[in-house]
């Protein structure tokens, strides 16, 4: 059997894979089994922050791998402690819980918010408000948090205690806060899976103010937008707000499974021993990789992310066949006249890999993608959109 047949026979049928097998890569260039080269604008859905097989990251990971790969959270190890310190120092958050994925980071945030609300307001205050068209993960609680009906249909009953209001509708959010006893409001600053839709700054500020006035926990889901993706370390930093909880994952580990829930002053001591945990969470190898990733997301790199973003926005905005460009930093969505899936197929043919989000083309290149590759790939996409 060839690889595609083995995969289709034995792997659960949950992914509509592109018809491409990737066998190796370097940075933002990857190669299939025939040696064909592709420029990668997917970075593993925003995970390989510095591209594939990045030398510095590989060195950091292998050094830790050869020292100790796992000890459990019953012992002290240095990489998770150092990473938590770096995350707190760069955000003003106070404590970190490490998980292994975005969904798990959100699970932690949901549990912290519920416990805080139960302790301060009583056990009947547990409802978490999220937005219509949001995406927060695939576990039952995070699926229930996700404001997209089509993900819910086959998995009833969902976890109770989630309500959804439309993005950028502050009045609807205020009305829901009166109607329900809200424990938390949870937002993505740019809805990623929902179609790369940034929230309006006034809405985000208004939601944050409402949370502050009513002692409602503000959770910002930075699983996709975090770790330099939008041109600042975290996207919320461009909205002039200070969340109580920030969940992140994807780019943080640079390619190894790692999620984190950052806790602000108000909720830093909510979790006590036994309240939450994870066998793998804060794994030393994943954290050693993340330390390398995070230490390289400095002002210079963020400036380059913003410059490449501006270049792409400019050339795509001027292109025939592209109706709109949305997003922030190197998280961009293109609304095209032609069908997005057909455009992606034409791009693959010409050696460029990109993603979709709803009916848009979604670009999530590595943060350090060289400008020559940005230009080369943009020309291919523009041509395919004509």
Ligand X SMILES: *Cc1c(COP(=O)(O)O)cnc(C)c1O
Query: 188 or 385: whose CB is closer to ligand X?
Result: 188
98 part of the interface to ligand X, by CB under 6 A: no
Smallest gap from Cβ 46 to ligand X, in A, equals 7
Q: Is 103 in the site for ligand X (CB under 6 A)?
A: yes
Q: Given the structure tokens 């909510």, which residue do they identify?
A: 270
**Judged by CB under 6 A, which of 27, 147, 161, 192 binds ligand X?**
192
Q: Which region, judged by CB under 6 A, interacts with ligand X, from 28-36, 115-123, 187-195, 357-365?
A: 187-195
Which residue has the CB atom at the shortest distance from ligand X? 102
Smaller CB separation from ligand X, 18 or 31: 18
Number of CB atoms found within 10 A of residue 141's CB: 20
178 CB-near residues (< 8 Å, 6+ apart): none
Cβ atoms of residues 248 and 227 within 8 Å: yes
Our finding on whether 224 is near ligand X (CB under 6 A) is yes
With CB under 6 A as the contact rule, which of the stretches 13-21, 186-194, 234-242, 280-288 interacts with ligand X? 186-194
Q: Does 48 bind ligand X (CB under 6 A)?
A: no
Q: Is 40 in the site for ligand X (CB under 6 A)?
A: no
Applying CB under 6 A, which of residues 95, 115, 136, 296 lies at the interface with ligand X?
136
Q: Strand 352-353's sheet: what is its strand order?
A: 22-26, 29-32, 37-40, 352-353
102 binds ligand X (CB under 6 A): yes
223 makes contact with ligand X (CB under 6 A):
yes
234 sits near ligand X (criterion: CB under 6 A): no
Cβ neighbours of 162 (radius 10 Å): 22
Nearer to ligand X, 135 or 234 (CB): 135
Reference 184, options 135, 111, 259; nearest CA is: 111
Instruction: Quote the tokens at residue 192.
Output: 């990623």
47 DSSP assignment = T
Q: Which residues contact 39 (CB under 8 A, 6 or more apart)?
A: 28, 29, 351, 352, 353, 373, 376, 377, 380
Pairing relation of β-strands 182-187 and 217-222? parallel
Return the SS3 of 96: strand
CB atoms within 10 A of CB 241: 19
Q: Does 331 bind ligand X (CB under 6 A)?
A: no
By CB atoms closer than 10 A (0-12, 13-18, 19+), residue 320 is exposed
Beta strand 352-353 pairing with 37-40: parallel
* Residue 238 vs residues 46, 228, 254: alpha-carbon distances, Å: 19, 12, 23
Q: Does 162 bind ligand X (CB under 6 A)?
A: no
Contact segment (CB under 6 A) with ligand X among 68-76, 102-110, 204-212, 233-241 equals: 102-110
Alpha carbon distance 264, 208 (integer Å):
14
Alpha-carbon distance of 34 to 344, in angstroms, equals 20
**Residue 197 touching ligand X (CB under 6 A):** no
107 lines the binding site for ligand X (CB under 6 A): no
Interface with ligand X includes 233 (CB under 6 A)? no
143 is a contact residue toward ligand X (CB under 6 A): no
Measured from the CB atom, the residue of 79 and 137 that comes closer to ligand X is 137
Tell me how far the alpha carbon of residue 230 is from its chain's centroid.
Answer: 11
* Nearest to ligand X of 223, 262 (CB atom): 223
Given candidates 42, 48, 101, 125, which one binds ligand X under the rule CB under 6 A? 101
Residue 135 within binding range of ligand X, rule CB under 6 A: yes
Convert residues 55-94 into a mask of x (bound to ligand X by CB under 6 A) and - (unbound): ----------------------------------------
Q: Smaller CB distance to ligand X: residue 125 or 238? A: 238
Q: Which residues bind ligand X (CB under 6 A)?
A: 101-103, 106, 135-137, 188, 192-193, 221, 223-224, 249-250
């Amino acid at each position: 059997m060839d690889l595609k047949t083995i995969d289709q026979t034995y792997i659960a049928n949950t992914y509509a894979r592109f018809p491409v097998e990737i066998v190796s890569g370097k940075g933002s260039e990857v190669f299939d089994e025939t040696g064909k080269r592709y420029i990668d604008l997917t970075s593993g859905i925003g995970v390989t922050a510095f591209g594939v097989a990045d030398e510095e990251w590989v060195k950091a990971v292998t050094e830790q791998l050869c020292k100790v790969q796992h000890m459990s959270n019953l012992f002290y190890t240095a990489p998770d402690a150092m990473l938590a310190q770096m995350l707190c120092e760069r955000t003003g958050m106070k404590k970190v819980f490490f998980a292994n994925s975005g969904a798990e980071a959100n699970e932690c945030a949901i549990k912290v918010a519920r416990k805080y609300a139960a302790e301060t307001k009583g056990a009947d205050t547990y409802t978490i408000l999220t937005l219509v068209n949001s995406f927060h993960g695939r576990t039952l609680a995070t699926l229930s948090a996700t404001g997209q009906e089509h993900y819910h249909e086959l998995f009833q009953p969902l976890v109770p205690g989630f309500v959804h209001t439309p993005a950028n509708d502050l009045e609807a959010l205020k009305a829901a806060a009166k109607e329900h006893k809200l424990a938390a409001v949870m937002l993505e600053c740019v809805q990623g899976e929902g179609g790369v839709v940034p929230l309006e700054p006034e809405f985000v500020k208004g939601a944050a103010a409402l949370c502050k006035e009513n002692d409602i926990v503000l959770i910002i889901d930075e699983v996709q937008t975090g770790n330099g993706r939008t041109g600042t370390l975290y996207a919320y930093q461009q909205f002039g707000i200070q969340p109580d909880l920030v969940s992140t994952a994807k780019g943080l580990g640079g390619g190894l499974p790692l999620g984190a829930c950052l806790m602000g002053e108000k909720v830093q001591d909510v979790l006590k021993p036994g309240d939450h945990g994870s066998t793998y969470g804060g794994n030393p190898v994943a954290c050693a990789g993340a330390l390398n990733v995070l230490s390289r997301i400095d002002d210079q790199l963020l400036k380059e992310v913003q410059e490449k973003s501006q270049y792409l926005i400019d050339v795509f905005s001027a292109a025939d066949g592209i109706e709109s460009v949305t997003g922030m930093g190197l998280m961009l969505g293109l609304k095209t006249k032609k069908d997005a899936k057909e455009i992606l197929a034409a791009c693959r043919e010409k050696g460029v890999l990109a993603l979709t989000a709803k009916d848009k083309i979604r670009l999530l290149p590595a943060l350090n993608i060289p400008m020559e590759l940005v230009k080369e790939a943009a020309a291919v996409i523009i041509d395919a959109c004509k």
